[in-house]
Amino acid sequence: MTDNKKFDLEEITNFFSTINPNKSKSTYTTMKYNLMRISKMANIDFKDIDESVISPDFLEKPMSEYSVNTQIQSILGIELWIKYKIAKLSVGSKQKIAKYNALKDQWDIRLKQLCSKKNETINKNEMTDNEKTNWIDYEVLRTKWVSVINDKLIQSCPEPPYTEWRDLLLVSLFILIPPTRIGNYETMRIRYKKTVRAKSLKQDRNYIMINNTDNVNAGQPKYSLCFNKYKTAKFVGQISSVIEDETLIMVIDRYMKLRLKAQPINKLKYEDTDLLFLNTSNAVAQQPIKPLTQSYITETLKKTTNKYIGKKLSCDLFRKIFLTHFLNDNTKSIEDRKRMATFIGQTYNPTTMETYKKILPTPLPVPIVLSFD
């Protein structure tokens, strides 16, 4: 092994997975993109990255064109590259190891500066320029989206393509109910059930559960969501929630007709065909079954909302818009906030001051007193 050995993307991402065995799929994907961004900023093939490219002097200017958060992620990728380089240096390369550690120290300083800047922005609750451009009040967003769905539902034109209602459902899941992370839906499975319980299902995947007709007619919910695999699952545990929003139920009804026509589902056993969302190429029978990627869903959310709402909304912006609305609602109790946080995969820890806050009763209207002479 030579100290001048260069590396491809796959071996470094495998190294990251090895030293971080219990991270979520989205964490591994993010790190892969962080590494790929180094190549993009340097304008060279990834395998040609070396110590001259990985230095702050070379990368800091092209990096400055990205957002603070993206710069932070990029440095994490750079530091991973350096760690792997050190791990692969031959025995006795003390001077070279010291040189790469010094390089990492330079990036550490920059990383701390950026993290401080990010925290200052977070603490001020200020919008970024992109957020200002694409911001829309949640109630306005919801009203517009319900109008879009209602228009689509009453259209009597020939059957729409599968992908149109797939994209409408994806966006609906981020507007009509609290927006959780993309990874919760990325490989979601369809399951038919006799009860509303989710404990009997395999715990290594997420589900949309469809109740049978008899149970629905008896008043049980038609659809439920069950999250087992998501970013904070080991802290929050299984999340099971009934879908009650009437508009979302109608969207799922319409989508399922097209989805089951594109790929039938075996109700009796688990198969690849039970994916909730299919990509365009496998929305036809006998094509390979593949889930949508996180980057594809992100672009779909932006493209679809831009088409119908005039705003390019990502998962992150959906969550900020919704939470701004939700947390500004003074009628929400601590219990309401904890329940909402659990659904979107977070924990809500109220401050001591919040426990003193009381929800005031809605005042009765002041009676109008009429006097007659």
Hey, where are the domains in the chain? 9-124, 139-191+227-349
How confident is the model at residue 63, as a pLDDT?
94
What is the b/e burial string over 60-70, where b = at least 16 CB atoms within 10 angstroms of the residue's CB? eeebeeeebee
For 83, 128, 173, 175, 368, the CA distances from 301, given in Å and listed in that order, are 35, 19, 10, 11, 50
Q: Is the pLDDT of residue 15 over 80?
A: yes
Band the pLDDT of 1: cuts 50, 70, 90. Answer: very low
- Cα(321)–Cα(171) distance, rounded to whole angstroms? 14
**C-alpha to C-alpha distance for 290 and 283, rounded to whole angstroms:** 10
253 neighbors 242 (Cβ within 8 angstroms): no
Q: What is the DSSP letter of 47?
A: G
Mean pLDDT of the chain: 87
| Residue 203 pLDDT exceeds 70 | yes
Mean pLDDT confidence for 363-373: 58
Cβ atoms 279, 296 nearer than 8 A: yes
pLDDT at 197 over 80: no
CA gap 322, 175 in Å, rounded: 8
Tens digit of each residue's pLDDT (9 = 90 or more) over 164-196: 999 999 999 999 999 999 999 999 999 987 554
Region 41-57: mean pLDDT is 91
Calpha distance 66→56 (Å, rounded): 15
pTM: 0.76
The two tokens of residue 4 are 């001048």
Find, among 170, 165, 211, 217, the residue nearest to 192 by Cα: 211
Res. 288: pLDDT tops 80:
no
Query: What pLDDT shows up at residue 371?
Result: 47
Quick check: 136 and 309 in contact, CB under 8 A?
yes
Question: What's residue 67's pLDDT?
Answer: 87
Residue 9 pLDDT class (50, 70, 90 cuts): very high
**C-alpha span between 334 and 339 (Å, rounded):** 9
